[in-house]
Structures are given as structure tokens and as C-alpha cells.
Structure 1
Amino acid sequence: MEKSTHLSGATVLKNIAKGATILFCVPILSVWAAGSVVCAIIAPIGGVLGIVGIQGIGLNAFPDYDLPNILSLPIGLCLSLLLFISFYYTRRLLRGCLHFIKN
């Protein structure tokens, strides 16, 4: 005798949701998390180099208005903090997506 394989509508929808999560959410969140942590490391380095006065590293609020060099480090540290917070919550969301796929 053959076994009948009957899938319920909820099972089909759950499998479609898992597939969509694998195709769209996981790659986007992975790239966002990796980019956030890399930029969070680079931002304070740019702030230090901006204070030193390296040419080509400056803060522009508008195309014709440059911020003072002394503000490079505090703004770089604030940006780094925001990027690290973004990394933390993106990583939590990515773990939730992977847990959803696993179950």
C-alpha cells in the first residue's frame, strides 16, 4: 500500500514562509549586520584621522559647509555607537529568522 501524503494548508504556508525567509531575509540581514560592524569599527578611526587633519577626511554637513575638525572624533564615536546598536538588533533578528527556519 502507498502512503498518502496530505499536506494541510498551514503546513504549505509555513514552508512558503520559510522559503521566502531563506531567499530574502537571511541574505539582507546578514549583509546589513556585517556592514554595520565593519563601519562601526571604521568610524572612530576616521574620527581620529579627521582630528589629526588628514586631507580627504572631513565632515560636511552641506556641500558648502564643513564642520570643524575637533568634532570629528565625537561624531565618529556617536556614529560608531549607532552602527553597533544596529548590528546588535540586526543580529538578534537574524537569529530569530534562523530559529524560525530551523523549527
Structure 2
Amino acid sequence: MLLRYKKYAIFSLPTLVIVPTLFVFSTGLALCSAIAVIGGIIRTFNKDLVQMTIVPGVDIPSILSLPVSIVFAVILLLISFSSWKLLKRYIKFIR
């Protein structure tokens, strides 16, 4: 019985930090990937509304803004999916 409470004591503080952090991180990245694609579409048709630069002073051509934003969105989605899988694995581990 005491061993059971020891397990809860060991996992409670890290769980209070890890679970909300991974949840917010993964959902935030998924939302940002959608915003990146929308920004690429807007930039393709209206050059002045959204600014896309590689480094300060070097703009991405407006014709390439949609492909660049899609690549960036895919990278964000992969990181989001990986953090979501890590969250599920952590929850399974502490049970």
C-alpha cells in the first residue's frame, strides 16, 4: 500500500508540468500550421498584407509563398504529431 502512494508522490509533480505543456505545445503547433497555410494563400494573392522573409531584408517571392508556407506547415504538423504521441506515451507510462 505504501509503495502505491510512493509512486503517486514521485509522478505527481512532473505530471503537473509535463502533461499541460505537451498538450498546449502540440495543439498550438497544429493551429500555427493552419495559420501558416492561410498566410501563404493570402501572401500569394495580396503581396502587401503579409510579409514573409528568410532573413531581414530578403523577402520570399510571392509566387513561392504558398509552397514555402506548406513546407513550414508540414514541419510544424510533424513536430505537433510527435509531441502528441509523446504525451500519449507518457500518460500510458504513468498508469
* CA RMSD across the alignment: 1.9
- Whether 1:96 and 2:80 are equivalent positions in the alignment is no
Identity rate of aligned residues, in percent?
28
Q: Distance in 2 between matches of 1:21 and 1:96?
A: 14
Contact 1:58 1:69 in 2 (8 A): no
Structure 2 residue ranges without an equivalent (≥5): none
Structure 1 position 17, deviation (Å): 3.5
- Whether 1:78 and 2:71 are equivalent positions in the alignment is yes
Q: 1:53 aligns with which of 32, 46, 55?
A: 46
Q: Distance in 2 between matches of 1:21 and 1:85?
A: 25
Give 1:1-103 correspondences, 5 Å limit: 7-8=2-3, 12=6, 14-101=7-94, 103=95
Q: Deviations over 1:14-69 (max 9, x none)?
A: 33442133211101101101101101111111111111024231211222221211
Amino acid at match of 2:17: F
Q: Distance in 1 between matches of 2:62 and 2:51?
A: 7
Contact 1:46 1:76 in 2 (8 A): yes
Amino acid at match of 2:82: Y
Q: Distance in 2 between matches of 1:87 and 1:17?
A: 27
| Greater C-alpha Rg | 1
Q: Which structure shows the bigger proportion of residues in helix conformation?
A: 2
Scaled by the length of structure 1, the TM-score of the pair is 0.79
Structure 1 position 88, deviation (Å): 1.0
Structure 1 residue ranges without an equivalent (≥5): none
